[in-house]
Amino acid sequence: MNTEIINIGNELLIGQVINTNSSYMSKILNSNGFSVNRVSVIADDRQAILQSVNDAMQRSEIVLITGGLGPTKDDITKQCLCELFGGTLSENQEVSRHVEKIFTSRNLPYTPTNRSQAFLPTSCKPIFNHVGTAPGMVFEKEGKTVISLPGVPFEMKNMMNDVLELLLERYNPQTIIDKNIVVAGISESFLSDMLEDFEERLDKNKFSLAYLPNGGLITLRLSLHGGEREEGKKETELLLADLKSIIAEFVVGEQDDDLPKIVSKELKKRNATLSLAESCTGGNIAHRITLLSGASEVFKGSVVAYNNRIKNSVLGVEKDILEKHHAVSLPTVIAMAKGSLRLTESDYAVSTSGLAGPNSDGTDVPVGTVCICAMNKEGKHLTFTTRYNTTRENFIDRVSNDALMLLIKLFREEDK
């Protein structure tokens, strides 16, 4: 079932806001058999809106639109949808009561500007917004379905369940099966060489294989399109097993596993806990781990020691080590990991120290240098050092990936 997404908003076109809406919607739609063929980002501009919706309806059965539904003057999506689908903007009493309730529950007055949110094209069927004021709208024309949703990510997400239910009821989408294998420790081109024969044998009319480098890992996605579902499942499983056997030594996870998920699964398997001592990663590793629900089962905490005094006073890194070897050194990260284990009584600790830059710290340690240690409570540890010539953000990201990879290596060493 061909589906397109149109995201309306000047803020997206000038790069002020990253378009997270389209990826969220695509993920849900694709995994339910609604194949997203195109995403168009356009301005809050009448001509662009009319043209894009018309073009999308030529190509696709389903068009999902986000944005331009706010109460302010720059938002014109509702007016444009009236032009396209007929009808006039008039107050929907049910929506109005709903919006009014939201304002009064927050002890705010229901002003005319807020009330304007309840004015909808008479040609649409509204979708209630339970967490905000702008309702969604469903239009139908010539067998095509066009759905308009708010651009605020949280509000759009909250409505996607209703949207999906409506679409599944109206269409009978084709089978799509996506299976991922997550690999690490090998570059894309070497992986591709290893898989040359496998790809040659693949039935291109049914299957496709994609390489997705992502956060220090490569996700291999095997996709099946069309055909009978149960049979397709079996075929996909066989191919997946084949694929896994070819690259077994590099496989670290499956589906949407990323490094924090893989680490968290391993810790649960071992009934073990982790603590961190972060300097240059500044809390990013802790943040990525605590994004996972249930993190508290495996994660004890992190000391973000952005300052040498804290490395010494909280983590107990001896002044002697910091002075003799520098804060960015293997002896320092080893002492930080030890300190973290002692302080938190965790089973594993990972520590990072580096010069993210762009400015030097005045010593002769070059900007971009990083040292990492992963240690278990018996004191067995691995260290890693390198130098990155990159932006601050990318540096923090890479070092966080390296640190989690080093811990996975330590798990593997233990398993030997």
Q: Which of 226, 188, 174 is nearest to 204 (CA)?
A: 226
Dist CA 245 CA 265 (whole Å): 22
* Tokens describing residue 227: 């055909």
Cβ nearer to its own copies, comparing 13 with 240: 13
Dist CA 404 CA 348 (whole Å): 12
What is the enclosing helix (H) or strand (E) of 412? helix 392-415
Cβ nearer to its own copies, comparing 91 with 188: 188
Cβ nearer to its own copies, comparing 84 with 314: 314
Cβ nearer to its own copies, comparing 187 with 245: 187
Nearest distance, CB of residue 31 and its own copies, angstroms: 8
Cβ nearer to its own copies, comparing 126 with 301: 301
101, exposed or middle or buried, with CB in 10 Å at 0-12, 13-18, 19+?
exposed
Q: Which of 283, 197, 289, 279 is nearest to 242 (CA)?
A: 197
Nearest distance, CB of residue 41 and its own copies, angstroms: 4
Dist CA 149 CA 405 (whole Å): 40
Cβ nearer to its own copies, comparing 210 with 238: 210
Q: DSSP states of 64-85 as a string? A: EEE---SSSTT--HHHHHHHHH
Q: DSSP states of 266-285 as a string? A: HHHHHT--EEEEESTTTTHH
Cβ nearer to its own copies, comparing 96 with 208: 208
DSSP type of residue 205 = T
Nearest distance, CB of residue 347 and its own copies, angstroms: 13
Cβ nearer to its own copies, comparing 91 with 413: 91
Nearest distance, CB of residue 25 and its own copies, angstroms: 7
CA atoms within 13 A on the CB side of 96: 11
Nearest distance, CB of residue 415 and its own copies, angstroms: 26
92, exposed or middle or buried, with CB in 10 Å at 0-12, 13-18, 19+?
buried
In sequence order, what are the beta bridge partners of 351?
A: 277, 373
Nearest distance, CB of residue 145 and its own copies, angstroms: 19
Q: Which of 322, 304, 324, 303 is nearest to 312 (CA)?
A: 322
Compute φ and ψ for 293, nearest 5 degrees: -70, 145
Q: Are 342 and 323 in contact (CB under 8 A)?
A: no
Nearest distance, CB of residue 223 and its own copies, angstroms: 8
Cβ nearer to its own copies, comparing 50 with 314: 314
Nearest distance, CB of residue 118 and its own copies, angstroms: 13
Nearest distance, CB of residue 264 and its own copies, angstroms: 13
Q: Are 109 and 103 in contact (CB under 8 A)?
A: yes
Nearest distance, CB of residue 314 and its own copies, angstroms: 6
Compute φ and ψ for 221, nearest 5 degrees: -110, 120
Cβ nearer to its own copies, comparing 154 with 416: 154
Q: Are 179 and 236 in contact (CB under 8 A)?
A: yes
